[in-house]
Structure 1
Amino acid sequence: MRVSVIGGSAVDNQTYETARRLGALLAERDHTVVCGGLTGVMEAVCRGAREADGETIGILPGERRSAANEYVTTPIATGLGNARNALVALNGDAAIAVDGNMGTLSEIALALDAGLPVSGLDTHDIEGVEMVDSPEAAVEYVESARR
């Protein structure tokens, strides 16, 4: 399945490593990562997925595919700015939020509104988000919710 991974564009080392592990787990379980294609959580999750030979889709806010981080295998330029958040959320079969601010919150809301299962790691604790404490638990939740 495709899993939208959403999160902060500027993160500390611990959050980066959590997202990197998440990407590796998703790839090891044959899931495709969908994200915003830039820095922070987006880069880390793509890096982890690529290190495990997984596929990554980066849905970019700007008009240049070359703006994607180096671990995105399929960059999609939109020219939509933050409006691209809807495309990030809706192109997954589930979503996992890691850290993040207002952009992450908007993507969580869009995913929940679309009826997608959402798990969260150290992110916005709102109704409908299954808060978990590890990348493994995040992946297990979205897999079980999609069965």
Structure 2
Amino acid sequence: MTETFKIKGRISQVLSTPAADPEVARQHFAAKLTVETDPSDVHYDLQHELDSFILLDVRSSKHFEECHIKGAIGFPQSKISPESTAHFPKDKLIVTYCWGVACNGATKAAMKLAALGFQVKEMIGGIEYWRREGFEIEGTLGDAAPLVG
């Protein structure tokens, strides 16, 4: 039976599902961080020349040419296969990104790469949030490129 939580005479939507035990929550969030990173952390590593990962822009080749993160490799997620990724080292993390929170291309790419035996993380927020944070981009359109696809 679900317990009802009322505050000021109204049912709380936040408390209608009880919070997890702190240890369960810690494990959940620790697991989440093993498969995600964010633009700020990627930027920090790139700025400090920490080359512990390969950064893949998994949007279309056209969109990559127009605007991408400096140092990223354009690699559309639809092209990922055992043959096309054979040159990537299996001992180096691959970080995928696409447009932003409304795009699941980076998620699809990460899933495909993991199935091929690569260690992967998805950069949440994609290039949209990279640009919103004011980080450097390059490409034929640069800052004039669309913010979302």
Q: TM-score, normalised by structure 1?
A: 0.35
Q: Whose radius of gyration is greater, 1 or 2?
A: 2
Compare the two structures and name the one with the higher helix fraction. Answer: 1
Compare the two structures and name the one with the higher strand fraction. Answer: 1
Q: TM-score, normalised by structure 2?
A: 0.35
